[in-house]
Amino acid sequence: MYGGLLRSLFAAILVAYATIASGCAHRMSKPTTTIDALRIDDEITLRRMVVRNGPPTRTVLFLHGFPETIYAWQNIAPALGEGYEAHAFDWPGYGLSSRPPVDKFSYAPVEYARVLKAYIEKSGIDTATLTIYATDIGALPALLLALEEPDIARTIIVGDFAPFDRPAYMYESLQGLKSQPSAEHVRAALNKNRDEILANTFTRGLPEEAKFTISPEFQQDLAKGWNHGTMTAADAFHHYYAHFTRDQQYFESNLARLKTPVKVVWGEKDLYIRKDMGEEFAQKTHSTLEILPGIGHYPHLQDPAHVVAQIRASFGD
């Protein structure tokens, strides 16, 4: 009898040990990163990055700004930890995604919202476990989609963007993009000064002690992606702004329909879009606002650890 009990106890110990060992091995496993292409429709194919760290229970979708690509998230996505699946894609006109002619795709914020919806559906993302983190030109499309699809995400984190038509809050060249003929002059200047823009845009306006560097891989991808195809990233940015005021005004007039929970984060030292814009948006939408001391227009590049913490907090982690 005692022999049988000992064998049962020994077997139970082995099972427990195997379970613990398996769990430890799982926690110690490295995230896997896949970069591939996802076809949205006849005109649009998106380059995307998906980072997985074990069986996913939480999903994050990162939406970049100008002049970025998926590599803006290359350090943040793997740092989220076990149970997270992170997605990012290049917007049409950026990185290695499609750049159809404007008679087939307008590059307007509302068009980007349609692309975002298609990406979520085609990627099979469970919106009940999704946080969207959107910055700069990526934020308004996410919010426009949320007007029509309140359950598109459990939370949307937005920041350093222009939800409303408030040119006075914006950098001079951005103001110039909002109307003709100045918009064409700004587009030409952006294309002419590509190298200077890629070298200095991310830290412009910050004191020397706050300036940071981006990875060589990201730098190379920005340069490669600027002139991918017949349209430059600056051209796509210009086309986005051609419809920006219209879509801003539509969004503001429909704010009462915004039901998706939203958190607003903003760099205190944002040179391009003043924090006044974030404060007004948070007040009008009754959203939580966090102003990041000493941070500029690109919090995810300047302080990625804080962004990771924000995302985890959105899931209650």
Residue 52 β-bridge partners: 32, 85
Residue 259 placed within a domain: yes
The predicted structure's pLDDT at residue 29: 66
The predicted structure's pLDDT at residue 261: 98
E strands present in 232-316: 262-267, 288-292
Is the pLDDT at 8 greater than 50? The verdict is: no
Residue 25 placed within a domain: no
Phi/psi class of residue 204: alpha, beta or left (left: φ > 0; alpha: ψ in -120 to 50)? Answer: beta
Q: Where are the alpha helices (DSSP H) in 83-229?
A: 109-122, 139-148, 172-177, 182-192, 194-200, 216-226
The predicted structure's pLDDT at residue 125: 97
Summary mean pLDDT of the chain? 92
Residue 12 placed within a domain: no
If we measure between CA atoms, which residue out of 297, 65, 67, 69 comes closest to residue 198? 67
The predicted structure's pLDDT at residue 30: 84
If we measure between CA atoms, which residue out of 27, 38, 28 comes closest to residue 61? 38
Residue 283 placed within a domain: yes
Number of domains observed in the structure of the chain: 1
Question: What tokens were used for 93?
Answer: 């006109």
Per-residue pLDDT band at 317 (split at 50, 70, 90)? confident
Return the higher-pLDDT residue of 24 and 250. 250
Residue 181 placed within a domain: yes
How many other β-carbons are positioned within 10 Å of the β-carbon of residue 35?
Answer: 14
Predicted model pTM: 0.91
Residue 10 placed within a domain: no
Is the pLDDT at 6 greater than 90? The verdict is: no
From residue 228, alpha-carbon distances to 89, 91, 216, 260, 308 in Å are 15, 13, 19, 35, 30
- Dihedral of CA atoms 266, 98, 41, 150 in degrees, nearest 10, equals 0
Mean pLDDT check: name the lowest of 8-17, 164-173, 188-197, 284-293.
8-17
Residue 4 placed within a domain: no
If we measure between CA atoms, which residue out of 39, 109, 96 comes closest to residue 68? 96
Q: How far apart are alpha carbons 51 and 295 in whole angstroms?
A: 26
- Alpha carbon 178 to chain centroid distance? 23
The stretch 121-131 carries a mean pLDDT of: 98
Residue 61 placed within a domain: yes
Q: Looking at residue 68, which CATH number applies to its domain? A: 3.40.50.1820
Q: Where are the alpha helices (DSSP H) in 29-138?
A: 76-79, 109-122
Print the domain residue range for 129: 31-314
If we measure between CA atoms, which residue out of 53, 57, 51, 60 comes closest to residue 28? 53
The predicted structure's pLDDT at residue 299: 98
Q: How far apart are alpha carbons 307 and 301 in whole angstroms?
A: 9
